[in-house]
Amino acid sequence: MKEIVISFAALAAMPLIAGVTMPKFDLGENVRVFSPEDGLENIHRATEAVFQRQHKRQFGPERQAFLFLPGDYSKMKTVNVGYYTQILGLGRSPRDVKLSNVKTPAALDKNNATCNFWVGIENVSIADTDNNADPYFNFQWAVSQAAPARRLYVSRKAVFDWFYGWASGGFVADCVFEKQAGSYSQQQYFYRNDSFNAGIYGINWNQVVVGCAGDFASRSKDGAKMLSECAPTGTEGVSSNWRAGGCTTVVGETPVVREKPFLFVDGDAFKVFVPAIRRGSKGVSWGEGKANGGMGEGKILDLARDFYVAKEKKDDAKSINAALVAGKNILFTPGIYHVDEPIKVTKPGTVVLGIGEATIVPENGDAALKCADADGIVIAGLIFDAERASKRFVVVGDGKTKVRHSKSPAFLIDLVYRVGGTGKPGKTEVCLEVNSNDVVVDHTWIWRADHGDHTGWTANKSKNGIVVNGDGVTCYGLFVEHFQEHDVLWNGEDGRVFFLQNEKCYDPPGNETWMSHGGKKKGYAAYKVADGVKRHYAVGLGVYDVFINTNGNSVFLDDAIEVPDAPGVVIENACTVEIANGEGPLVGINAIVNGHGHAIKTGKGSGGGYAIQRVYRYSAGKADIAPDYYRR
């Protein structure tokens, strides 16, 4: 199949619809800007050629962004999306770009989407058909980690798996679904500030719904249980059907959030919209009657005037840092950027935005990116890769401070961190260190690779995924996996976490060496709140045992979660799941939190096997525990 590459020069000469003009701005060779006037068949051939090249290249070097100018593409064939590809609409509203359908076919055999990573879709609408009963005609966003869907208007039924094959997690925010959305084979899922007009369904282990609107509470199924069976958990504004046998937690309002900045076109110019901070919000940020032509509250920046546009092979840390010192925001176009010094974001209100899975690789032994302790910084849409030893990937704030930023927090949005797997050896002590107060993390996957090249206990070494030292830090959609000590280490006060997906490391060598607390406890808890913390809240936590690469050694973890026994520290709806090999050595997790909650175990002669164990609530040494799965 011959790939169709449409040049900016050719597009600029084409007449466009409804007064839209091709912006006279070059975003580089890895960005393709489409208009309906280009010919729908030409556009489909171009997108399909990229998909065919990228579909199986999980650790490949190519990065790609498809930008769709406002218009009607609903007669075009389905756009298939493979690795390192992002779809972005350039309208003020998702309704301005109307696509027929989008799919993410499973990258593994047997419809398995558990390795569908590193893709994204934003600011488009998906048209409807009359065949929603057939999954073939559904909007199939069959993904797992690091594949956010944002700011969508979806008219057809949405399915988050590939023809009922396994998938392992997802993040959907600021979207409207007119028909049912969900998956019967997804393991866990996180929704934030969405509107569901015909219900959500499915999900097996842990589903968290924060600040969402619509009729989902009365019309949705969660396994065999209705969301209408949700009952208050004891925390204001939080309800759950866990006690009724379900797996869903509903948080009525989102405490504080800022939606992700995005590109749009205004006349013949690219602009960037930076949404305003919302507090106590419910439902989407955009729509009819909203400010800025339906975009919602926020500010509009001019790409040519206010941003430095970084391009692969052209820019490095020196040129990017010079632009930041000059007061510019940064747009990273798709590509891989090797930095021989940390990128330094120092000015309040700076926006650093990546598109097309832009990737930063530190080659300085220190960090990829450092943020000053300043108001209103936004870092969004980037991958950070370890290809050499680096102390950390991203650092926010220089150290512990009393300066507060509650009125204008820093936001870290859609950031992905990878240690190993990519073809070159990589090591880091900590992927993300948050020292500033009031920072908001809105979706992240922090991953010590369990597969790919240069993986193993002594190969891709990394102690912690995220270390939080600041106070008042909030996380939505926290995906952190496989680290050698605590995946999450929380030292600050007043932390809040809404949803955790965690698999413990696959490859601990055995409890002779994998011990914590001075050799007194087996393994390292996935979620650790430091002993001196007085106030902390976390809800919807899943920690899974996949001890399968232990060189035949038996391995156990004593506690999935460790927290201080203080009245102000509350854990709600926490579970562990046993998914390790039943024919292997004896492995498992002995308790869910602080010695409470039934064990999971597997291996020859264990008497265990697959299981899910739950704790409904834990605080100050008291646990409310679900019945033992093995004794049902």
* Residues labelled as active-site residues: 503
Q: Distance between CA atoms of 102 and 56, rounded to whole angstroms?
A: 18
31 in Cβ contact with 63 (< 8 Å): no
Which helix (H) or strand (E) segment is 591 a member of?
A: strand 587-593
Which helix (H) or strand (E) segment is 516 a member of?
A: strand 515-516
The token pair at 363 is 């080659």
Cβ neighbours of residue 101 under 8 Å, at least 6 residues apart? 78, 79, 126, 127, 137, 139, 156
Name the residue among 521, 582, 584 with its Cα closest to residue 556. 521
Q: Distance between CA atoms of 307 and 301, rounded to whole angstroms?
A: 8
Name the residue among 561, 469, 572 with its Cα closest to residue 524. 561
CA atoms within 13 A on the CB side of 109: 0
492 in Cβ contact with 534 (< 8 Å): no
320 in Cβ contact with 343 (< 8 Å): yes
Pairing type for strands 139-140 and 277-281 reads: unpaired
Q: Distance between CA atoms of 192 and 540, rounded to whole angstroms?
A: 13
Q: Is 75 exposed, middle or buried (0-12, 13-18, 19+ CB in 10 A)?
A: exposed
436 in Cβ contact with 407 (< 8 Å): no
The token pair at 62 is 């190519």
Strand, helix or coil for residue 68:
strand
Strand order in the sheet with 600-602: 343-345, 369-371, 389-396, 427-434, 464-468, 488-490, 527-529, 555-562, 587-593, 600-602
Largest CA-CA distance found in the chain, in angstroms, rounded: 72
Tokens 């972005």 correspond to 88
Give the chain's length. 632
The token pair at 165 is 């094959």
283 in Cβ contact with 289 (< 8 Å): no
Q: Kindly report the backbone phi and psi dihedral angles of residue 312, in degrees, each rounded to the nearest multiple of 5, phi listed first.
A: -60, 140
Cβ neighbours of residue 540 under 8 Å, at least 6 residues apart? 190, 206, 207, 208, 249, 498, 499, 500, 572, 573
Amino acid symbol at 375: D
Tokens 């926290």 correspond to 478
Q: Kindly report the backbone phi and psi dihedral angles of residue 307, in degrees, each rounded to the nearest multiple of 5, phi listed first.
A: -120, 150
420 Rama class: left (phi>0) / alpha (psi -120 to 50) / beta: left
Tokens 């097996």 correspond to 204
